């Protein structure tokens, strides 16, 4: 057997290059995964540009990883060699910080994050914490399952934890990797679903994904349209523009909530009036835990929800990443590894 594996690493900010790495054994409590697919998430930008706080290069990006376990570290009992598993953005808690001690492990102050604190899935092999992996149902191919582990869980959890009731008006802003799954989850959870995009190009796709109504922010007043429909109970903001998020608050109904999952570089500037008069709120939501990932996968199987993907071989990771950055992905680019 070869004693090296191929990976795509960020060796210096902005540079993705193919390297051969020596194969290492998983440590105590870890598994080694032979990777079959890894999605390219917009958050990978923070690894590729070297700007994620505390990031040390070189680092292999990738936190939408699916593959088969090919080695077990000591003390791992739950998982078997050959089992197909996935790893998302939250891939292990320290168990000792205050949020962990309160059972809120997704907000762990010292989490394991593939592509940030450890090497991720743009590779033929990856080491993961056994407590940080999820089981993959056989109904899903590896390439289909991968985007559900970050883009999927983030939108699924944000919506299911928002205290919404069946039939309420829910809008999803930004129709990218996260947004195109958010639209499907909102529709299948039973909400009146509005997709908010820029331009008409994605209108048909958004409706095919389940949106009842499409709003084009480049020509339409999104707040006026949502108010005309009764005011949104929730708006899931997945885009990468703070200015675009701020403009959504006036589209919320009384006690409506703007749920921020996108992480724009620019500030979200708000006036207090719509917050105070009407009890509207704005808050953030961060990914989910490995068991939330299993829930996301199970719901997707149950409801026939699949990401729309374009696959690229691992060797073309840099091209695929550039395509994502240009906003050309429809809607998630997934790296696949030759087996
Ligand atoms: N909270 C979490 O746990 C979590 C998890 C994963 C990702 N994220 C973050 O979520 C964001 C989206 O990730 P992704 O992988 O879905 O990215 P993506 O596939 O590259 O899509 C980018 C999205 O941003 C929108 N956008 C770009 N420029 C915009 C502008 N000027 N105004 C309005 N919308 C704009 C695009 O909307 P159009 O459809 O209008 O083009 C598109 O929907 C990123 O910031 C990422 O870091 C957060
Ligand atoms: Zn992600
Ligand atoms: Zn912790």
The per-residue pLDDT for range 141-188, each reduced to its tens digit, is: 999 999 999 999 999 999 999 999 999 999 999 999 999 999 999 999
Determine how many CB atoms are found less than 10 A away from the CB of residue 102: 9
Cα distance between residue 48 and residue 16, in whole Å = 7
Cα distance between residue 74 and residue 295, in whole Å = 28
Ligand 1 contact, 146 CB (< 6 A): no
Distance 107 CA to ligand 3 centre (A): 7
Ligand 1 contact, 184 CB (< 6 A): no
Q: Is the preceding omega at residue 58 within 30 degrees of 0, hence cis?
A: yes
From atom 21 of ligand 1, which residue's Cα is the shortest distance away? 176
Residue corresponding to tokens 């990006």: 61
- Tell me the pTM: 0.98
Please write the tens of the pLDDT for every residue from 170-179. 999 999 999 9
Ligand 1 contact, 147 CB (< 6 A): no
Which one, of 183, 86, 148, 187, lies nearest residue 306 by Cα? Answer: 148
Whole-number pLDDT of residue 339: 74
Distance 86 CA to ligand 1 centre (A): 22
């Amino acid at each position: 057997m070869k004693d090296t594996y191929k990976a795509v690493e960020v060796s210096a900010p902005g540079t993705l290059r193919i390297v051969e790495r020596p194969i290492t054994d998983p440590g105590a409590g870890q598994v080694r995964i032979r990777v079959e697919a890894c999605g390219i998430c917009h958050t990978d930008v923070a690894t590729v540009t070297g700007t994620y706080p505390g990031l040390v290069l070189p680092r292999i990006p990738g936190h939408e990883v699916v593959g088969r376990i090919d080695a077990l570290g000591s003390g791992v009992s739950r998982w078997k060699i050959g089992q197909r598993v996935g790893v998302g953005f939250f891939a292990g808690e320290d168990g000792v910080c205050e949020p962990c001690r309160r059972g809120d492990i997704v907000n762990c102050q010292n989490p394991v994050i593939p592509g940030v604190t450890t090497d991720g899935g743009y590779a033929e092999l990856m080491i993961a914490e056994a407590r940080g992996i999820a089981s993959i149902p056989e109904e899903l191919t590896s390439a289909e399952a991968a985007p559900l582990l970050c883009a999927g869980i983030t939108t699924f959890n944000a919506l299911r934890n928002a205290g919404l009731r069946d039939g309420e008006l829910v809008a999803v802003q930004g129709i990218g990797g996260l947004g195109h799954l958010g639209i499907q989850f909102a529709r299948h959870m039973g909400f009146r679903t509005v997709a908010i995009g820029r331009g008409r190009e994605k209108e048909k796709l958004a409706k095919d994904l389940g949106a009842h109504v499409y709003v084009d922010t480049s020509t339409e007043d999104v707040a006026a349209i949502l108010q005309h429909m009764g005011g949104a109970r929730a708006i899931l903001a997945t885009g990468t523009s703070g200015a675009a998020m701020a403009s959504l608050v006036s589209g919320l109904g009384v006690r409506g909530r703007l749920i921020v999952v996108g992480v724009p570089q620019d500030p979200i500037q708000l006036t207090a009036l719509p917050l105070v008069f009407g009890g509207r709120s704005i808050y953030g939501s961060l990914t989910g835990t490995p068991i939330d990932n299993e829930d996301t996968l199970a719901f997707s199987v149950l409801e026939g929800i699949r990401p729309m993907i374009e696959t690229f071989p691992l060797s073309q990771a840099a091209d695929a990443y550039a395509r994502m950055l240009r906003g050309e992905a429809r809607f998630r680019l997934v790296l696949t590894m030759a087996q």
